[in-house]
Structure 1
């Protein structure tokens, strides 16, 4: 399902015009991105959590050049679904 499909489905179910729904969906995504960039997790009860996970520094190998590189510690965004979400998907 794409963002356009989500917008169409919400517009159909609520009767709100697609332009307003698209603006709302994009504002939601931008708000989540902004919060995560500030290291603030986003918790949506009954849906899940968007959290920042920290990856430790590690050593990696480039096999073709036979060299070793160090990948520094960094943060990555992650989504953890709520238990009710998981039970619906099963």
Structure 2
């Protein structure tokens, strides 16, 4: 499902217009990304939690040349599914 399909599904479920649903989804995504950029966690009960993590600098290898390279440290985004979501996906 892409973003437009999500907008269509939410609009059909709520009876709101596609434009207002699109604006609401854009606002939600903006708040979530801003919150994660600050390093805070976003927890949606029943769905899951989004948080940031850190990946340390590490050594890697260039597959073309075999040369050893240094892969710089980076921030990552993590998602942990909530129990209700896991149960739904697993058919429990």
Aligned partner of 1:63 in structure 2 is 63
Number of positions where the alignment pairs a residue of Structure 1 with one of Structure 2: 90
- The unaligned stretches of length 5 or more in structure 1 are none
**1:65-80 to 2 correspondences below 5 Å:** 65-80=65-80
Correspondence 1:34 to 2:34: yes
**TM-score of the superposed pair, with normalisation by structure 2:** 0.91
- Deviation for aligned residue 1:66: 2.8
CA–CA distance in structure 1, aligned partners of residues 19 and 87 of structure 2: 33
RMSD: 1.0
Aligned partner of 2:85 in structure 1 is 85
- The unaligned stretches of length 5 or more in structure 2 are none
**TM-score of the superposed pair, with normalisation by structure 1:** 0.93
Aligned partner of 2:23 in structure 1 is 23
Q: Could you say what secondary structure the match of 1:16 adopts? A: coil
- Runs (4+) of structure 1 exceeding 6 A deviation are none
Aligned partner of 1:54 in structure 2 is 54
- Deviation for aligned residue 1:80: 1.0
